[in-house]
Amino acid sequence: MAGSPGSGASLEGISLGSSEEAELRREAMQQVLDNLGSLPNATGAAELDLIFLRGIMESPIVRSLAKAHERLEETKLEAVRDNNLELVQEILRDLAQLAEQSSTAAELARILQEPHFQSLLETHDSVASKTYETPPPSPGLDPTFSNQPVPPDAVRMVGIRKTAGEHLGVTFRVEGGELVIARILHGGMVAQQGLLHVGDIIKEVNGQPVGSDPRALQELLRSASGSVILKILPSYQEPHLPRQVFVKCHFDYDPVRDSLIPCKEAGLRFSAGDLLQIVNQDDANWWQACHVEGGSAGLIPSQLLEEKRKAFVKRDLELTPTSGTLCGSLSGKKKKRMMYLTTKNAEFDRHELLIYEEVARMPPFRRKTLVLIGAQGVGRRSLKNKLIMWDPDRYGTTVPYTSRRPKDSEREGQGYSFVSRGEMEADIRAGRYLEHGEYEGNLYGTRIDSIRGVVAAGKVCVLDVNPQAVKVLRTAEFVPYVVFIEAPDFETLRAMNRAALESGVSTKQLTEADLRRTVEESSRIQRGYGHYFDLSLVNSNLERTFRELQAAMEKLRTEPQWVPVSWVY
């Protein structure tokens, strides 16, 4: 009996130690999260990297992995001894001398000799010493058997219940005279049930042979209702889990108007600016995607297909469905590959192909720069100045550089920073300026280092720059929030100019030609650079537009954000 208390104490100690270690690990993980806020100043780590790290550590997936790690690291219970039957026999010999004098000793001896107790000890010793027999392997798991081809008669019956007209979310192709499942749409009925797989051969529907016409099979399945029994030859293909891909769309798409899509009913409609999750990219021409807000998945043109369509480049494949395929893969005769033909980089840049942009979801964080884009005279500078005056501790801006001589009343760094023309031209050639121009024989420009200086001071750098500069700023270093200040319609703009003159806010009366030029320039900027905009505000009232801009900046601190994936990885 001396070994029993030791066994109990040992097991209890192991259990308590595992619990304490798990609690310590959880506390350590929380302490790391709490310390992330002070790491940038202490280590010089990039703020965006720390935000991304916090997002990962707070994600349910990582917490689940931590729990799984704790479970795997739990200390295994080990038997104290594997010869308890011998120990009991020794105890019984000692009890034989005490049984006549003590009723308690006699009762203990009787319990230890019970057949059930003896069987329990025998089983414990067998498990502890691992002397039990290992069952023989199942003949069905024989590796030589699993490598054999599937026999022709290895059929499977699959039952599906549906209503007439309901789409199953599955498409077919003809392969070797058989109807084979080409794709299964994510989120569809078949995908949710998990009974059919890509590559399965459809032999019969409700006891009727299906033949080799995919259109007839689609129509038969669409019109069927109630219980539908499919006879199939399984493909036995191992499914793979694709990585999560999210994209921001830069064009409008309507599958009903697409002459290339092999199955219009399976298409997914979206607009420019929509966020999609790509759930399947196995087909080179047609991806499966769904809106991040939810809903069923559908087919969308792949990046490759849409680039070819928009660029009018000779196709490697004839993008028309084959006669024996419905909603299947596209095939055709290979053509000679041609690259984009252009002689001027600037011309190529103006005709940049905008299809999809891969994005990632980030927890709330403060952007380093706020970029206001818009036509001349639309109110960008007024909004910038109001924002800085409203909260000068949070917002700042750059001081422009110029090669002209300072006036008597001007001081260095107040309004302008003055440098020689030679120095400024050298810096322009070295790429140290975000933008620059010449006015009345003098150079003016914004140095990139001046933006870094505002950010280093802990402020959001507010910039009102030309649209071309956004492409330079849109990096992980500056993480800009780009707001397009859109001009209102012509009549509203004319009324605003008249009101500004009457109130004394402005002394410049704009002509109708000036006003029309502003409206046209605003439309041109939106067409050419709209894919860079995070927010568009119509400035029909300066105070209202300012409040909307304030609200948008506050939301960045409280709501998750979708940013280009290049900022994160």
CATH superfamily of the domain spanning 245-358? SH3 Domains (2.30.30.40)
pTM: 0.59
Ranges in the chain annotated CATH 3.30.63.10 = 399-448
Q: What is the CATH number of domain 364-394+459-560?
A: 3.40.50.300
Q: What are the structure tokens assigned to 498, written together?
A: 């008249």
- Contact (Cβ atoms closer than 8 angstroms) between residue 158 and residue 196: yes
- Contact (Cβ atoms closer than 8 angstroms) between residue 462 and residue 397: yes
Distance CA 281, CA 195 (A): 21
| Alpha carbon separation from 149 to 153, 156, 234, 237, 433 (Å, rounded) | 11, 16, 12, 13, 67
Distance CA 248, CA 244 (A): 14
* Tens-place pLDDT, residues 26-73: 777 777 777 766 665 556 667 777 777 777 777 777 777 777 777 766
How far does Cα 530 stand from its chain's mean position?
Answer: 22
Length reported for the chain: 569
Q: What are the structure tokens assigned to 74, written together?
A: 């739990």
Q: What are the structure tokens assigned to 257, written together?
A: 């108007």
Looking at residue 477, what is its pLDDT?
93
Which residues neighbour 549 within 8 Å (Cβ) at sequence distance 6 or greater?
Answer: 383, 387, 483, 537
Looking at residue 315, what is its pLDDT?
44
- Contact (Cβ atoms closer than 8 angstroms) between residue 192 and residue 171: no
CATH superfamily of the domain spanning 399-448? Guanylate Kinase phosphate binding domain (3.30.63.10)
3-state helix, strand, coil in the chain (%, to 5): 40, 20, 40
Looking at residue 443, what is its pLDDT?
94
Looking at residue 410, what is its pLDDT?
82
Q: According to DSSP H, which parts of 400-474 are helical?
A: 421-429, 448-456, 470-473
Task: For the domain made up of 152-233, give the CATH fold.
Answer: Pdz3 Domain (2.30.42)
Distance CA 254, CA 268 (A): 7
Looking at residue 282, what is its pLDDT?
83
Distance CA 490, CA 300 (A): 38
In 10 A of CB 184, how many CB atoms? 23
Mean pLDDT by 10 residues, the chain (569 residues): 39 45 71 68 67 73 74 69 81 82 84 82 78 51 45 68 73 81 73 74 82 78 78 70 83 93 89 92 90 89 90 48 40 38 40 83 92 92 94 95 88 87 94 92 94 95 94 93 94 83 71 89 92 93 94 92 89
Distance CA 361, CA 246 (A): 9
Which residues neighbour 455 within 8 Å (Cβ) at sequence distance 6 or greater?
Answer: 368, 369, 461, 478
Ranges in the chain annotated CATH 3.40.50.300 = 364-394+459-560
| Alpha carbon separation from 279 to 91, 186, 255, 292 (Å, rounded) | 67, 7, 18, 11
Class of domain 3-72: mainly alpha
**297 burial class (0-12, 13-18, 19+ CB within 10 angstroms)?**
buried
**Helix 115-128 crosses helix 84-98 at what angle (to 10 degrees)?**
150
